[in-house]
Amino acid sequence: MLYYGASMLHSQLKPKQSYADLRPVYVICFMDYRMKHETDQLVYRYSLREQDSGELYNNLLSIYLCELTRLKETSIKGLTPIQSWFYILKNMRKFAGKPEDMGERYAAIAEAARLRHLPVDEKLQYLRNMITEEEKIELYDTGFEDGMEKGIEKGRAEGKEEGRTEVRIAIAQNLLTMEYPIETIAQVTGLTPEEITALQ
């Protein structure tokens, strides 16, 4: 976090520019695990301060740790704005599928997050990138382990193909939930329209 935050600071200036031109950098991390802290809170804020007095050195680098697992509430009703964001991010799959269950208050968030606002070429590229990242995880977990268990290259190849199919099906199901046309889903996932229809 420090490394990337410092990189963002360092990359702002060109030769002969003044340090006064630097703009503050905020590193905001949404985490699905807990780090060790002396207190129990949702957001931990770090900045450059004098150790004894707490005097702020400057505001050029700030780090925010948002540990989603620390939210214990099981309903969005009655939560503060920060707690509400935590709840939505923690339950994003449910929220994306049926945002109306959360209430009209959060409809604007759901609408702003919809991929249909992107131009078609950017939308397809986004979905292709999403598939690629998911496949890396699935192919490692499935292909590698199957190959080790079977001890032969054939088993590894079959495991990889199974992993690819599972990822494509999961993405197709998500896109069906978001009411994307079957033709678009087929283009993005590589599944046939018949295979996608069978998932409905």
4-23 tens-digit pLDDT: 899 999 999 988 899 999 99
Q: Cα(first)–Cα(last) distance of the chain, in Å?
A: 42
Residues 46 and 98 in one domain: no
Instruction: Check residues 112 and 81 and name the one with the higher pLDDT.
Output: 81
Q: How many angstroms separate the CA atoms of 123 and 180, rounded? A: 11
Query: Please, what sign has the CA dihedral across residues 98, 103, 106, 112?
Result: positive
Number of domains in the chain: 3
Are 133 and 179 members of one domain? Answer: yes
Are 194 and 129 contained in the same domain? yes
Domain that holds residue 172: 117-198
Q: Do 63 and 97 sit in the same domain of this protein?
A: no
Same domain, 82 and 99: yes
Averaged pLDDT of the chain: 78
Hey, which residues does 61 pair with through a beta bridge?
25
Same domain, 130 and 109: no
Q: Are residues 83 and 60 in the same domain?
A: no
Q: 47: closest CA among 63, 71, 66?
A: 63
Q: Based on the domain organization, do 182 and 124 belong to the same domain? A: yes
**Residue 88 CB neighbours (<10 A):** 20
Same domain, 45 and 3: yes
Q: Is 152's pLDDT higher than 50?
A: no
Q: Tell me the whole-structure pTM to 2 decimals.
A: 0.54
Answer yes or no: do 61 and 77 share one domain.
no
* CB-based burial, 149-179: b 16+ in 10 Å, e otherwise: eeeeeebbebbbeebbbebbbebbebbbeee
Last residue of a domain, one of 57, 85, 113: 113
Residues 131 and 185 in one domain: yes
Question: Which pLDDT value is given to residue 144?
Answer: 40
Most confident of 12-21, 88-97, 161-170: 12-21
Work out the average pLDDT over 135-147. 48
Question: Strands 25-31, 56-67: parallel, antiparallel or unpaired by DSSP?
Answer: parallel
Backbone phi and psi for residue 18, each to the nearest 5 degrees, phi listed first = -85, 150
From 44, 70, 96, the end of a domain falls on 70
Half-sphere exposure in the Cβ direction for 53 (13 Å, CA): 4
Whether residues 65 and 135 fall in one domain: no
Please identify which residue in the block is written with the tokens 């976090």: 1
Does the structure show a pLDDT above 50 at 169? yes
Q: Which of 85, 113, 141 is the last residue of a domain?
A: 113
pLDDT for 159 equals 47
Which residues in the chain belong to E strands, given as ranges?
Answer: 25-31, 43-49, 56-67
pLDDT level of residue 145 (50, 70, 90 thresholds): very low
